[in-house]
Structure 1
């Protein structure tokens, strides 16, 4: 399943997206940092019989040419996307950083979703701790780690780009993030992460994009800390990966879920990359929300 490439207007340009087709309730699929719309391909294949999934490339990612000039643009775009699609009360599904993106968009009132599904993408710290963590993400050492691990911002000719994609596919089985993902999906996502610039290819996101979105305003009303959940009025499902980034903080996640009605916690046996490694199980969770 590949879907149809579409452009969705936002305030200062367009976001690239994949419309997987289907009919019924709109389901917006939002990827995490470093990934792109293609990461949702296998999930969407299980959804199209019951709803209409569309996945976007956030700013700085995939084939979207817009970059972030500030820390809130990427999640504020979600309001523009939903309005442009003409969707009323869509289901918003976000993985990792995309989980915060859909949460922030709902918390700020940019969208009135039927429900949120946050996939291993919660924010659990207080404001001061979150500020310190975001500052640490903008250091030279952090940027160097991203370049070394993921080649963020790397420019290559076509041959070297294709060789890197092939390498990622070969090594996926032993990779901490991609182990268990379909090799063809790893190829599709990695390939989409390169954007053509003349006769060169740029690996996205760049470290500058990461720095922009982590330069959070300490006085922002909607802030990536645990208080953001107090602003939510819609149903919330948190999907927690048993080998994911937040597995050791399950009690804190449970506290968020227990703080309001119409919230639930669903455990899933997966590493952090749930959409690519457990697509059928994640789709089943999403379909339960569609049918509610």
Structure 2
């Protein structure tokens, strides 16, 4: 992998985060947010292809080289919006663009809906709103989460005897990826432990959510987005089911359906080039 980025660390008021920094210092400010269980390497193909932008590709807390949340703290998806806002504050960016993939795209929409005065544009890849839940399922979901919290143990994370074994496992994970994509994520995401290698990710990230937004809640954030939005949808991605497609088609966003899987921006150079072509035209307007 070509080293075209600078590695940085940001000491936020509540946590330390790591990031990859791409592009000219005077470029348009962009904060890039990866998907669940991924890391900043998710943008290692795409970011160098984007023109005239200064990209801070974060390891979100609990992922990659960023710190884990303290004991007793949770990984609610809306908490990431606070992390991103604190990054922007530290960088002195009052207005910025958000580039988000999957969970990162969802966080981007939440922040843009909650604080539209801060977000200039949204460039989203195969994600818009979180999985939702209605009121009648809330007690059951909270109970499942509380029981899982009692049992969580970092020592139960899988240990791989080799880098190749870890890569093969990641290729088959949620949002399956190509071998090269898995290698890029693994190079940043693995750490040595007795017996081999394991993921740096916080084990609590695998716990069930204690509470989910209702669909009405989620759509209210979409309705509150005021900035231009460009949404790339992968033809073999995670948003292909008819009910989801029908919902997405009602969003007032610019939409582009491109061939490839959920990680089309990372799986191969062709996919990265296709996504870059869409976003370069969008960001240059």
Which digits, 9 at most, give the CA deviation of each residue in 1:221-272, with x for residues without a partner?
Answer: x986222212211112221111111112222101122xxxxx3111111111
Distance in 2, Cα, partners of 1:243 & 1:137: 34
- CA change 1:45–1:103 in 2 (3 A) is same
Select 1:123's aligned residue among 129, 137, 151: 129
Counterpart of 2:222 in structure 1 is 229
Distance in 1, Cα, partners of 2:43 & 2:90: 21
2:88 corresponds to 1:82: yes
- The question of whether the paired residues in 2 share the 8 Å contact of 1:241 and 1:272 is answered with yes
Matches within 5 A, 1:59-70: 59-67=61-69, 69-70=73-74
Q: Tell me, what secondary structure is at the counterpart of 1:281?
A: helix
Q: Tell me, what secondary structure is at the counterpart of 1:228?
A: helix
Aligned residues, how many? 270
Counterpart of 1:164 in structure 2 is 165
Distance in 2, Cα, partners of 1:176 & 1:217: 20
Counterpart of 2:53 in structure 1 is 51
- The question of whether the paired residues in 2 share the 8 Å contact of 1:15 and 1:65 is answered with yes
Q: Tell me, what secondary structure is at the counterpart of 1:160?
A: coil
- RMSD across aligned C-alpha pairs, in angstroms? 3.8
Select 2:211's aligned residue among 195, 209, 216: 216
Counterpart of 2:185 in structure 1 is 189
Extract unaligned runs of 5+ from structure 2.
none
2:256 corresponds to 1:266: yes
Q: Tell me, what secondary structure is at the counterpart of 1:28?
A: strand
**TM-score in terms of structure 2 length:** 0.79
Matches within 5 A, 1:134-153: 135=141
Distance in 2, Cα, partners of 1:27 & 1:207: 29
Select 2:266's aligned residue among 271, 276, 281: 276
Matches within 5 A, 1:96-107: 96-107=102-113
